Structure 1
Amino acid sequence: MPDIVLSSAVRDNLLSLKETADLRSVTQTRLATGLKVNTALDNPNSYFTAQSLNDRASDLSNLLDNMGQAVQTIRAADKGLTSITKLVESAKAIANQALQTSSEYERKLYTSQYNELLTQIEDMARDAGYKGKNLLAGMGNELKVIFNEDSTSNLTVNPVDFTDTSLDDGLNLDDLDAGGTGTSSFNLFGGQTTLTLTGLQASSNLTDLADWSNGDVVTITDSSGTTSLTVGTDITTVQDYLDALNGLNGVHASFDEATDAITLTSGLDNTAYISKDNAGGGTATDGGATGGTTTSLTVTALSSTATLITSGGFQAGDTITITDGNGFEPASLEIDGETTVEDLVKFINNVKGLDATFSGGGISLIGEVSFDITSSNTDFNRTTLGSTSGTVGLSAASSEFKSDTDINRTLQAINAALDELRSAARSMGTALSTVEIRTDFTKKLINTLEVGAGNLTIADMNEEGANMLALQTRQQLSSTALSLANQADQSVLSLFG
């Protein structure tokens, strides 16, 4: 088949249509993708330059994510520091409250509260981590934040260790010794007897009795030994005798002029014996007017319902006082004729930190701090004639808040801990500010890179829209021109009528 021959005009119009179609295809691609450079073929320089800028922006975006996580890690530590500071301030408040009271028991309670706060501080420090990184947990938790692609720009945030408050390079706050407990006891015995001094009054001489002579010796004996009173030397009158008996430890004596008898009430825990010999020429007696015998002052354990004055260690009007190891007096009780053993036990139990139980004539004590129970009556708790002290002492290991010196020393340590916390907070704050500033800078740099890349590759949609419209017009005009060229060729056919 011979080649088809087209006229020059037709060929020109066909070429014009093809070029327009190619331009239109390019413009459509730009409108569809929004890019004027889609491949290296479009513009190698712009394409590879934009790709380099976008690659760096992508690398920085990955670093930006890490920076964001670092910010959260530092913020977690900062929140932990804020809360720990509040707890340390609470510990300081507790120490100051302890300083306001002299009660050893209350100070012991404050010691326990203080130790509990230290435990909470350690727990809070352990909980201040973020994604496995805890800047309050010490070694191994260093946080390295990288700011550029080759890691030459970075920041290392060093941790502190507050998970153990006792660390010297941390808060340096040790748990306080809360002390211990102590035990003690005392017995409540009572017994009574009389010494008859027939016909005598308080002012009478003892030698007015037929069996009494100067030089005779009265002896009072118990398990601790013997007390001797020589008639005419140590004792002369009935009142002298009464005073001497009253002066014995654990014994109370009273004289009734109506019955001419001395009543002896004992608080000893053993039997005492009273007698008078005949060393001065008199006749041996029971310590009174009855000859040839010995008076036994026998005691038995008091019951819970017995009145205290049935024991020689108590009299109506006595004041029982309880003091702790700091000399603080939490309670006192005035004894009257109706006060019972049960009343005394209840009184002791009302003292915080001190418990009492009564059984078999004895009161057992358990104290959380040291206590002393004393009485205005010197016969209180004098269990033998040879007793040296009537104080019921209970000794317990003291807490480290017992004295003002102890508390002030703790306050100094707390103030130093607060300084350490403030220093750590400043360090964390500086690191947080630095990372946040670098994060903001990186965001802006990424935007700059992406804008720069876009300037090289992004198409101007207004321009491309106008191009499309122009190409459409050109295509229509080219089609019309081609039609006219074809019509010119067809006119030749008219010659063949």
Structure 2
Amino acid sequence: MSDIVLSSAVRDNLLSLKQTANLQSVTQTRLATGMKVNTALDNPNSFFTAQSLNDRASDLANLLDNMGQAVQTIKAADKGITSITKLVESAKAIANQALQTSSEFERKQFASQYNDILEQIEDMARDSSYKGKNLLAGAGNELEVIFNEDSTSNLTVNPVDFTDTTLDDGLNLDNLDTGGTGTASFNLFGGTGTLALTGLQASSNLTDLAAWSTGDQVTITDSSGTTTLTVGTDITTVQDYVDALNDLSGVHTSFNESTDSISITSGNTNPIYVSKDNAGGGTATSGGATGGTTTTLTVSSLSSTATLISSGGFQAGDTITITDGNGFEPASIEIDSETTVSDLVSFIDNVKGLDATFSGGSISLLGEVSFDITSSNADFNRTTLGSTSGTVGLSAAASEFKSDTDIDRTLQAINAALDELRTAARSMGTSLSTVEIRTDFTQNMINTLEVGAGELTIADMNEEGANMLALQTRQQLSSTALSLANQADQSVLSLFG
């Protein structure tokens, strides 16, 4: 090529075209990539400065992802605390409802419901995890959030432990003892007998009878012992005799003036023996006017269809009342002459928390709380002449909601637990706010770094477009100039024409 001789004009135009082509190549690259600095050769200072800024932005972007996950972890815990708070408020409502009733059985049920709520609280706490991190599950679940590249700026979110409601440094809510059950039974026996006092009325003196004299003694005996009535001292008239017999436990006595006899109805579980001696000069009798030495009043267990008044422990008009350990009266019944044993069993069995069955003359009771069955009739459930109490008592271990004091103590614990939840919620809220603020800051910082890097390396597309048009025009002009220079060199050929 060095042997080829070109004119100065041609060489100048060729050089101009070459330079224009180089500039077009650079401009085309900038237009294609959008960058005015693509390599360190373009501008070392801008290239490496921009790279440093982009590297930091990338590092912060990685931290931003972790911050986002931390936000979700804290939100999961916050949602858990909100739900647990509602459950604790439900537990408080249950305790307040228990306080509104005196029924020991209903309070026992409320105690069971309260325990169910505590179980749900623990389940809720265990379910409040996010990606294996649970801020409501105690030690080992600390959350560390890093805010800058060298980890010198960070936040540690300490967990609480609500997975066990009994923890002293947690909710401190203990399960309530719901108590136990108790059993009891009472017998239903009955028997009747008569003592003939021929020719007497209720107001008559017993000594009007030929066989009776002042000082004679009437003896009434069963398995519990003996009661002695002295004629003229303890008993004088027929009515005195009836009243004295009525005073015996489990015995109902009346005088029938149409038959001139005393009717005795027993509810005791053992036979009763009545006799009168001759200590005052009379004649020994079986407790009546004449005949025999002893009247035996036998008893047998009642059947389910037997009327209650066939037992000495019941009379028409009696009121049978059931009360629980709190003195609450869930039911009462007034018996009449038609009330049967089956009716009594059904009445008892319909009381909530109390089951009754009847077999072999005995009513068996199973109670979820303590119950007492009493009657307005003092002879109710008097099994012998020596019985001192007719109350049927069933004892069962009480629940921890039995008394108002128990419930008030639980309410105090619930209020303290609500305070603990509010404290935990505030702590979680503060941590969440801090992480969210740092997240926004980091996003803005990333944007600032990327904008700064872009200002050093990103091309102005308007400017580069204008440059391309100018270079294309220059290229066209250079081509025209080169053509003209070649035409000037060709003019010498005209000399050889």
Q: What TM-score results when the alignment is normalised by the length of structure 1?
A: 0.99
Letter in 1 for 2:12: D
- Deviation string, structure 1 residues 76-121 (Cα, Å, up to 9, x no partner): 0000000000000010011001000001111011001100000000
Q: Is the 8 A contact 1:67 1:439 kept in 2?
A: yes
Letter in 2 for 1:406: D
- Deviation string, structure 1 residues 219-276 (Cα, Å, up to 9, x no partner): 1111111111111111111111100000000000000111110000000011111111
Tell me how far apart the structure 2 counterparts of residues 290 and 452 of structure 1 sit (CA, whole Å): 132
Pairing of 1:371-410 with structure 2 (within 5 A): 371-410=371-410
1:2 to partner: Cα distance: 7.5
1:216 to partner: Cα distance: 1.2
Letter in 2 for 1:135: L
1:189 match: 189
1:281 to partner: Cα distance: 1.6
Letter in 1 for 2:21: A
| Poorly superposed stretches of 4+, deviation over 4 Å | none
Tell me how far apart the structure 1 counterparts of residues 361 and 85 of structure 2 sit (CA, whole Å): 54
Q: Is the 8 A contact 1:126 1:134 kept in 2?
A: yes
Relative to structure 2, which stretch is displaced further, 389-398 or 206-215?
206-215
1:135 match: 135
Tell me how far apart the structure 2 counterparts of residues 478 and 148 of structure 1 sit (CA, whole Å): 56
Q: Is the 8 A contact 1:211 1:291 kept in 2?
A: no
Residue 30 to residue 2, structure 1, CA distance change in 2 (3 Å): closer
2:198 match: 198
Pairing of 1:69-218 with structure 2 (within 5 A): 69-218=69-218
Q: Name the SS of the counterpart of 1:96 in structure 2.
A: helix
Q: How many aligned residue pairs are there?
A: 497
1:457 match: 457
1:350 to partner: Cα distance: 1.4
Tell me how far apart the structure 1 counterparts of residues 123 and 364 of structure 2 sit (CA, whole Å): 41
1:237 match: 237
Letter in 1 for 2:419: D
1:122 to partner: Cα distance: 0.3
Pairing of 1:303-342 with structure 2 (within 5 A): 303-342=303-342
Tell me how far apart the structure 2 counterparts of residues 391 and 177 of structure 1 sit (CA, whole Å): 28
CA RMSD of aligned residues (A): 0.8
Tell me how far apart the structure 1 counterparts of residues 478 and 332 of structure 2 sit (CA, whole Å): 122
Tell me how far apart the structure 1 counterparts of residues 219 and 137 of structure 2 sit (CA, whole Å): 78
Tell me how far apart the structure 1 counterparts of residues 48 and 282 of structure 2 sit (CA, whole Å): 140
Tell me how far apart the structure 2 counterparts of residues 234 and 297 of structure 1 sit (CA, whole Å): 22
Residue 28 to residue 2, structure 1, CA distance change in 2 (3 Å): closer
For structure 2, the 5+ residue unaligned runs are none
Tell me how far apart the structure 2 counterparts of residues 199 and 386 of structure 1 sit (CA, whole Å): 32
Tell me how far apart the structure 1 counterparts of residues 30 and 180 of structure 2 sit (CA, whole Å): 87
Indicate whether 1:488 and 2:488 are aligned: yes
Tell me how far apart the structure 2 counterparts of residues 216 and 168 of structure 1 sit (CA, whole Å): 78
Tell me how far apart the structure 1 counterparts of residues 281 and 131 of structure 2 sit (CA, whole Å): 105
Q: Is the 8 A contact 1:374 1:391 kept in 2?
A: yes
Letter in 2 for 1:317: G
2:425 match: 425
Tell me how far apart the structure 1 counterparts of residues 387 and 486 of structure 2 sit (CA, whole Å): 148
Tell me how far apart the structure 2 counterparts of residues 33 and 367 of structure 1 sit (CA, whole Å): 88
Q: Is the 8 A contact 1:353 1:369 kept in 2?
A: yes
Tell me how far apart the structure 2 counterparts of residues 251 and 292 of structure 1 sit (CA, whole Å): 22
Pairing of 1:435-446 with structure 2 (within 5 A): 435-446=435-446
1:494 to partner: Cα distance: 1.3
Aligned-residue identity in percent:
87
Tell me how far apart the structure 2 counterparts of residues 137 and 284 of structure 1 sit (CA, whole Å): 89
Tell me how far apart the structure 2 counterparts of residues 219 and 427 of structure 1 sit (CA, whole Å): 85
Pairing of 1:273-284 with structure 2 (within 5 A): 273-284=273-284
For structure 1, the 5+ residue unaligned runs are none
Letter in 1 for 2:445: L
1:51 match: 51
Q: Name the SS of the counterpart of 1:248 in structure 2.
A: coil
Q: Is the 8 A contact 1:189 1:268 kept in 2?
A: yes
Q: What TM-score results when the alignment is normalised by the length of structure 2?
A: 0.99
Q: Name the SS of the counterpart of 1:183 in structure 2.
A: strand
1:4 match: 4
1:208 to partner: Cα distance: 1.2
Q: Is the 8 A contact 1:84 1:125 kept in 2?
A: yes
Q: Name the SS of the counterpart of 2:303 in structure 1.
A: coil
Q: Is the 8 A contact 1:283 1:291 kept in 2?
A: no
Tell me how far apart the structure 1 counterparts of residues 254 and 290 of structure 2 sit (CA, whole Å): 19
Tell me how far apart the structure 2 counterparts of residues 451 and 227 of structure 1 sit (CA, whole Å): 115
2:471 match: 471
Letter in 1 for 2:50: A
Q: Name the SS of the counterpart of 1:323 in structure 2.
A: strand
1:411 match: 411
Letter in 1 for 2:82: T
Indicate whether 1:299 and 2:299 are aligned: yes
